[in-house]
């Protein structure tokens, strides 16, 4: 088995230079030097001795990733991007845990990861209370929070990476209004997180701007657990039955779902109730998971820049793991609307135009 000294000898550099390459410290390295080191690593098929590294430093080349539920393909997409960038760029692997947005579970995961030498964690939560994040940070864990904004005026000691959820819902709602819809519904699970609250605000703001405050309702479905992340599609299907049972003159003609999985469940439930999407009711989701383009009709949704967000998450972790004095930051990304086949003009508008 090759050693780091063998790689250094092959590349004509010092062992510390090879170590810098292995640990992602390449910014100030000459391009020719980097190319020689990477070629030597490939030729010798060198792999760092992670056990020895952990014994020496007390750290392990692992990052924690805590998600509400991997059952949502959106979190799978984020996990894939974070894992790819962490491993290919920095030699770190990912450990994933499902928290179901349970504060106590999140706190226990922090403890377990630290006990195993993990020093960097990404948490997708959006719970209103993030004191347990701060506590973990005070004990030396580098934390990046995804899907929630930083509390104004509060230095929590953690980084925040998010998409503009208000803008995501505003874009989707205005798209429905532009198609002539005047009776709108926003459908979500009952547990209101910070990100869901921001989406509801964007929905109401767009409706109010169009003078449709009275025609915009929020429908909260009750899941089997507090937030419903693992059962969003089924929850959407159940809520569709309730919506379909409303009197035709009161029923919304367009529905915006809190995410794509709920939107796909809504479409299935409306079909079971004898309603057609989009002929009888338009549906929009948020996230742009891969399934949304495969449905019939294909789902109109709001795209999130997952690769760019994952890049920022990983780079912030690496930067702060290398230098504890680096100040924390807040990074917000902009969504974009993806128009597909699940939105059309409402039935009344169609009949009037015939």
Residues 208 and 342 in one domain: yes
Cβ contact 332:162 at 8 Å = yes
Asked if 175 and 301 touch (Cβ cutoff 8 Å), the reply is no
Pair (216, 76) in one structural domain: no
Q: How far apart are CA 97 and CA 95, in angstroms?
A: 7
Same domain, 282 and 325: no
Cα–Cα dist 330/151, whole Å:
10
Task: Clarify whether residues 117 and 266 are in a common domain.
Answer: no
Q: Are residues 76 and 33 located together in one domain of the fold?
A: no
Residues 6+ apart with CB under 8 A from 79: 65, 67, 70, 94, 96
Are 192 and 327 found together in one domain? no
pTM over 0.85: no
pLDDT (tens digit per residue) in 249-304: 889 999 999 999 999 999 999 999 999 999 999 999 999 999 999 999 999 999 99
Same domain, 73 and 220: no
Are residue 11 and residue 71 in the same domain, yes or no? Answer: no
pLDDT in tens, 164-179: 999 999 999 999 999 9
Average per-residue pLDDT in the chain? 88
The residue segments making up the domain with residue 34 are: 4-48
> 343 and 225: one domain?
yes
Is residue 246 scored above 90 in pLDDT? yes
Which of 16 and 105 is assigned the larger pLDDT?
Answer: 105
> Phi/psi of residue 205, each to 5°?
-65, -45
Is the same domain home to 217 and 297? yes
pLDDT of 300-350, one tens digit each?
A: 999 999 999 999 999 999 999 888 888 889 999 999 999 999 999 998 655
Tell which phi-psi region holds residue 210, choosing left (phi > 0), alpha (psi between -120 and 50) or beta: alpha
Q: For the residues 184-205, what does the mean pLDDT come to?
A: 92
Kindly state whether residues 187 and 106 are assigned to the same domain. no
If asked whether residues 139 and 112 sit together in one domain, one would say: yes
59-88 per-position pLDDT tens digit: 578 999 999 888 899 999 999 999 999 998
Prior bond of 65 cis (ω within 30°): no
Range 31-40 contact pairs with CB under 8 angstroms and sequence separation of 24 or more: 36/11, 36/12, 37/7, 37/11, 37/13, 39/11, 40/7, 40/8, 40/10, 40/11
Q: What is the CATH number of the domain that holds 130?
A: 3.40.50.2300
Instruction: Name the domain count of the chain.
Output: 3
């Amino acid at each position: 088995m090759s050693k780091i000294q063998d790689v250094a000898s092959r590349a004509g550099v010092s062992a510390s230079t090879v170590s810098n390459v292995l640990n992602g410290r390449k910014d100030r390295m000459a391009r020719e030097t980097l190319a020689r080191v990477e070629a030597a690593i490939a030729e010798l098929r060198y792999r760092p001795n992670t056990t020895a590294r952990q014994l020496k430093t007390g750290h392990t080349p692992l990052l924690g990733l805590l998600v509400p539920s991997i059952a949502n393909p959106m979190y799978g997409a984020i996990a894939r991007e974070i894992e790819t960038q962490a491993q290919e760029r920095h030699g770190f692997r990912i450990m994933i845990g499902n928290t179901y947005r349970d504060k106590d579970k999140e706190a226990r995961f922090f403890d377990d990861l630290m006990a195993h030498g993990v020093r960097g964690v990404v948490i997708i939560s959006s719970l209103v209370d993030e004191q347990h994040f701060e506590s973990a940070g005070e004990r030396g864990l580098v934390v990046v929070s995804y899907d929630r904004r930083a509390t104004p005026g509060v230095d929590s000691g953690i980084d925040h990476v998010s998409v503009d959820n208000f803008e995501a819902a505003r874009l989707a709602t205005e798209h429905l209004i532009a198609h002539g819809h005047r009776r709108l519904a926003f459908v979500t699970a009952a547990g209101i997180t910070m990100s869901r609250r921001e989406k509801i605000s964007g929905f109401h703001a767009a409706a109010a701007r169009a003078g449709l405050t009275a025609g915009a309702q929020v429908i909260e479905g009750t899941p089997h657990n507090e937030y419903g992340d693992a059962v969003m599609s089924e929850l959407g299907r159940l809520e569709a039955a309730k919506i379909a049972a409303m009197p035709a003159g009161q029923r919304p003609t367009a529905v915006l779902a809190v995410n794509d999985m709920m939107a796909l469940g809504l479409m299935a439930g409306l079909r079971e109730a004898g309603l057609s999407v989009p002929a009888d009711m338009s549906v929009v989701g948020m996230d742009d998971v891969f399934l949304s383009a495969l449905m019939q009709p294909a789902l109109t949704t709001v795209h999130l820049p997952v690769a760019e967000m994952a890049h920022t998450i990983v780079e912030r972790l690496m930067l702060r793991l290398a230098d504890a004095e680096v100040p924390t930051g807040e990074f917000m990304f902009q969504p974009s609307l993806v128009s597909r086949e699940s939105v059309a003009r409402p039935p009344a508008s169609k009949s009037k135009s015939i």
